[in-house]
Amino acid sequence: MEDQRLKGLLPSWLLLVSLFDMREAQETYHKHEILFTAVGTRRSLTELLITHVIDDVKVCSYDKHDGKLVFKYPWISKVLGTEYIKKKKKTITDIEMNFRSVVKHITLNDTKSHTNQTLQLFADCELDRDIQVGSHIQFALNGGLHGKIDDDDWVFFKPEAEQFKIFLQSGFQTALRRHYIQEHCYGMMRKILQYSNMKENVPPEVTIGRHEATDGRVTLSCTARGFFPPSILLHWEKDGWLGIWGQEISSGTLPNADNTFYLRVTMELQLEDTGAYYTCVVEHSELSIPAVYPVPRKPSKERPWDKVLGALAVVILVLSCVVAFIMWKKKTGKEAQFLNHIPGASNKCESGHPVYYFGG
């Protein structure tokens, strides 16, 4: 019997140890987003805007009209260094020439040379535990999404986007794209984050719930709100044991309006399971140890007869008191009448209070 218990305990301990290892390895997650917007005609590029955002905080921007690279905080330019900023400005010049060529290609057969074309490029890269998770690029023309690339795999959504295929998949553009992602997405983000996090980390606020259906089936819910970074682990335990106890559904980690994140995990238990002794265990980089949240017990239901009997007892008690009071009043009234018929007897003292005695 003891051997069987140990056999059942071992896999759970292994899973628990692996979860702790994951938490120890987990560090802050970061995302760098870059938006390019170019507007131009066949003759010239009239506008070029570039915006860098790290962890939902604007880092720097460039506007072709004044030709300045503006940093949100002075310390960012110091951290990046003079040499890097020079390279960055040279890269912006190359990007401007690239966009001019693309816009010119788009309007090659356009008889109206004054018609504006808007080309947008959205690039991002992600770090988790300082490991490069991946990079993505999407491009749109005049508000319509035409294609995207995840790392090195291009996907085109519209037939007219095929005209960019040879250009974007050429060896020169591929090398240029890879260099830009490494140098100005991952590289720039790492330089800035070595000095300071752009956004304050926030631990999750967790709420636990249970719902019982009419057929007696119990569904448990564990909701984590308002946390950052988005990397988080939620799992269920029963009486301290890890396992699969029912059908689980996860909302996935979703963004909130305040740039924090949200995750909800529900579990529908088997019909005979009452939902007792369950806990939701939450692990996040802002929690020093895994937080354990017990599921509320099933509320005890008072039987209807208990309520009826309780109310009946109260009524009987009240009626007994009323009857006793009436009997007492009748008895004291008869005694007073008896005293009034006895000579020399008085039932009042000088103060007016009733008092009974026999005169002699």
Tens of pLDDT, residue by residue over 343-355, are 555 454 444 445 4
Q: Is the pLDDT of residue 25 over 80?
A: no
Instruction: Let me know: does 32 contact 125? Beta carbons within 8 Å.
Output: yes
Instruction: Let me know: does 156 contact 147? Beta carbons within 8 Å.
Output: yes
For position 245, what pLDDT does the model report? 87
For position 284, what pLDDT does the model report? 93
Q: Is the pLDDT of residue 178 over 70?
A: yes
d(C-alpha 107, C-alpha 113), whole Å: 7
Residue 104: is it exposed, middle or buried by C-beta count within 10 angstroms (0-12/13-18/19+)?
Answer: middle
Task: Identify the helix (H) or strand (E) that includes residue 292.
Answer: strand 291-294
* Tokens of residue 254, six digits: 């979703």
Phi/psi at 126 (5° precision):
-130, 140
CATH number of 201-294: 2.60.40.10
* Predicted confidence band of residue 116 (pLDDT cuts 50, 70, 90): confident
For position 173, what pLDDT does the model report? 85
User: Which residues does 340 contact at the CB level (< 8 Å), separation at least 6?
Assistant: 347
* Predicted confidence band of residue 2 (pLDDT cuts 50, 70, 90): very low
User: Which residues does 77 contact at the CB level (< 8 Å), separation at least 6?
Assistant: 71, 85
Write out pLDDT tens, residues 282-329.
999 899 999 999 998 876 554 555 565 666 766 677 667 766 767 766
Between the ranges 140-144, 184-188, 283-287, where is the mean pLDDT highest? Answer: 184-188
For position 203, what pLDDT does the model report? 94
φ/ψ bin of 67: left (φ > 0), alpha (ψ from -120 to 50), beta (otherwise): left
* Predicted confidence band of residue 172 (pLDDT cuts 50, 70, 90): confident
User: Which residues does 229 contact at the CB level (< 8 Å), separation at least 6?
Assistant: 28, 29, 30, 201, 261, 285
Task: Identify the helix (H) or strand (E) that includes residue 317.
Answer: helix 304-340
Between the ranges 102-106, 129-133, 152-156, 310-314, where is the mean pLDDT highest? Answer: 129-133
What is the CATH superfamily name and number for domain 29-193?
Answer: MHC class I-like antigen recognition-like (3.30.500.10)
Domains 29-193 and 201-294 share a fold: no
Q: Is the pLDDT of residue 59 over 50?
A: yes
Q: Is the pLDDT of residue 243 over 50?
A: yes
63 or 296, higher pLDDT: 63
Domain ranges of the chain: 29-193, 201-294, 304-357
Nearest to 210 by CA among 292, 266, 293: 266
Q: Is the pLDDT of residue 23 over 70?
A: no
Mean confidence (pLDDT) of the chain: 80
Q: Is the pLDDT of residue 165 over 60?
A: yes
For position 300, what pLDDT does the model report? 55
